[in-house]
Structure 1
Amino acid sequence: MRCDKKSMLLYAVTDRRWVGRQTLCEQVECALKGGATCIQLREKELSDADFLREALDIKKLCRKYHVPFIVNDNVKVAIECGADGIHVGQHDMQAEDVREYAGENMILGVSVQTVEQAVLAEKNGADYLGVGAVFTTSTKPDADAVPRDMLKAICGAVSIPVVAIGGINRHNISQLSGTGVDGIALVSAIFGSEDIERECRNLRALSKEVMRT
């Protein structure tokens, strides 16, 4: 499976800090029921064995709802669980090395913050880009902000889909109108919600409005 721009519309990134009343799998299924078009499993603390078990469970859910399943950072787990893709940052394995290791059929996402990084990532085999943080975010409080003009410039410099991430919620999502982004990636706005399914329905509708402008 390679990257379809439509699957980037409402990109849900998991965060274990919100697990409590529901398990992570239950939360992910609520997001899928609400219209999430892509799921990224992000785990920084689990062992590879636990990460793999969790990835296999969430992959099954994604197959059920026919959406791409992306693993963050851990290329080994992504390959072993049969994920649709892998997402890496600027300080993880380099995009060209990931592509060589994972093969041509796996979706490759790369986090970027500048036009230079974006162009290089596309050249090295990225299928889509994650750009952020576009707003202040509690998920990565130390993340550098990406100004609107830079986000717009990145969108204009590449031919692959661009997904905005970082501090996005229902109250500020409209500020991304006119930037050229192809999708919105959210963490706490989805998984920190009291009603994940309903919030995803609302966010998907708002995302569609952003894409039209």
Structure 2
Amino acid sequence: MSDILCITNRKLCGEDFLSRIEKLAKAKPQGIILREKDLSKSQYEILARQAIDICAAYDTSCILHTFTDAALSLKAKSLHLPLSLLKQMTEKERKAFSILGASCHSVTDALLAERLGCTYITAGHIFATECKKGLPGRGVAFLEEVCKSVSIPVYALGGITPENKKEVMKTGAKGVCIMSSAMTCAEPDSYLAKLDSPK
């Protein structure tokens, strides 16, 4: 089974966005996080409904992002949130999701996310990346520290490539997240296969 989470960013996508989601879903990552934070709730809900249907056709998990109300309204079972939004959720809301993730940037974040019932977290950014221009990566030592601090799966985020994935996995991370490459690679099938192979 794949250990890759693909994160969307339609602004980086050079083709029809739903076609890209379909190609990614077909490539069978662990899941696709629909992270289109700039949309309105209603716009996001329309897009999420389409993305969920596409992912379901390929038995790939579609993880909604940021819009808790839309996720609850669509009866989605998977949600990923910035920690600030996770903290605002009620326990009942958190329990509505069988997969609940949060973005963490420190050991303190990771411990809080675990305490609030997250089933996994993302930790980043690990390496320098275009998305965080000018900000140095936190590095694999940071990632290892996060992995050791919690008992839930940790997915590394930021500048992950087939060349550095092996180093990342040695820290105890469960898997990796990709965004820019997921949106721009020529052949998602072969790119994800290449990224999945170095264990």
If the length of structure 2 is used for normalisation, what is the TM-score?
Answer: 0.90
Which residue identity is paired with 1:115?
Answer: V
The separation in 2 between residues aligned to 1:139 and 1:114, in whole angstroms, is 19
- Measured on the aligned residues, the alpha-carbon RMSD in Å equals 2.0
Give the alignment of 1:182-193 within 5 angstroms: 182-193=174-185
Query: What's the counterpart of residue 198 of structure 1?
Result: 190
Q: Please say if 1:14 is aligned against 2:11.
A: no
The separation in 1 between residues aligned to 2:18 and 2:75, in whole angstroms, is 17
The separation in 2 between residues aligned to 1:87 and 1:191, in whole angstroms, is 19
Which residue identity is paired with 2:40?
Answer: S
Structure 1 residues 22-49: Cα deviation after superposition (integer angstroms, max 9, x where no partner)? 3111111111222312010011222222
Q: Percent identity?
A: 26
Q: Please say if 1:67 is aligned against 2:60.
A: yes
SS at match of 1:86: strand
Mapped contact 2:80–2:101 kept (Cα < 8 A): yes
Query: What's the counterpart of residue 178 of structure 1?
Result: 170
Which residue identity is paired with 1:15?
Answer: N
Structure 1 residues 102-127: Cα deviation after superposition (integer angstroms, max 9, x where no partner)? 43444210111222221121111111
The separation in 2 between residues aligned to 1:185 and 1:85, in whole angstroms, is 16
The separation in 2 between residues aligned to 1:101 and 1:69, in whole angstroms, is 18
Give the alignment of 1:1-213 within 5 angstroms: 9-20=3-14, 22-90=15-83, 92-95=84-87, 97=89, 99-141=91-133, 145-206=137-198, 209=199
**Offset of 1:99 from its aligned partner?**
4.3
**Offset of 1:142 from its aligned partner?**
6.7
Structure 1 residues 72-107: Cα deviation after superposition (integer angstroms, max 9, x where no partner)? 1111122222322111123x3134725432434442
Structure 1 188/79 Cα, relative in aligned 2: closer, same or farther at 3 Å? Answer: same
Structure 1 98/168 Cα, relative in aligned 2: closer, same or farther at 3 Å? Answer: farther
Mapped contact 2:44–2:70 kept (Cα < 8 A): yes
Structure 2 unmatched runs, 5+: none
Mapped contact 1:112–1:131 kept (Cα < 8 A): yes
Aligned length: 199
The separation in 1 between residues aligned to 2:76 and 2:131, in whole angstroms, is 24
